[in-house]
Amino acid sequence: MGANLTPAVRNFSIDPNFVGDPHEVDDGCVTAGTHKVLRFDFVSKNVGDADFVVGRPIDRPDLFYFSAAHNQEAWILPCGCRTSASERGSNEISADL
């Protein structure tokens, strides 16, 4: 079968007074100011019989973007969200949207 990623969401909440931090604004994830946001965790589990190998950012520009705010590559999640490179090694990656 190979790798088989299954998506799930959990932990829904509404934040009526969200203000992005300077890194989120610099990366273009949010505009400056106060926003009403729906927060949830996106979890992608590999239920397949092989490892999911993302590869190196230089070899997979379709899966990574350069975060100027963090001065490093970050992974674009399957949901289109972005995550910091420090989270890439975990078995579950949550994206706070």
The strand ranges marked E within 20-94 are: 34-46, 64-67, 72-76, 82-83
Would you say 51 and 3 are in contact if contact means Cβ atoms under 8 Å apart?
Answer: yes
Instruction: Assess if residue 57 is contained within a domain.
Output: yes
Instruction: Assess if residue 32 is contained within a domain.
Output: yes
**Confidence label for 94 from pLDDT (cuts 50, 70 and 90):** very low
Instruction: Assess if residue 43 is contained within a domain.
Output: yes
Instruction: Assess if residue 92 is contained within a domain.
Output: no
Compute the distance between CA of residue 18 and CA of residue 4 in angstroms, rounded to an integer.
34
pTM of the predicted model, to two decimals?
0.51
Would you say 48 and 63 are in contact if contact means Cβ atoms under 8 Å apart?
Answer: no
Would you say 42 and 77 are in contact if contact means Cβ atoms under 8 Å apart?
Answer: yes
Instruction: Assess if residue 97 is contained within a domain.
Output: no
- How many structural domains comprise the chain? 1
13-66 pLDDT per residue, tens:
999 999 988 877 877 778 899 999 888 888 888 999 999 888 888 888 888 888
Domain with 54 in it: 5-87
**Confidence label for 79 from pLDDT (cuts 50, 70 and 90):** low
Instruction: Assess if residue 41 is contained within a domain.
Output: yes
Query: What's the average model confidence in pLDDT over 81-87?
Result: 48
pLDDT of residue 90: 39
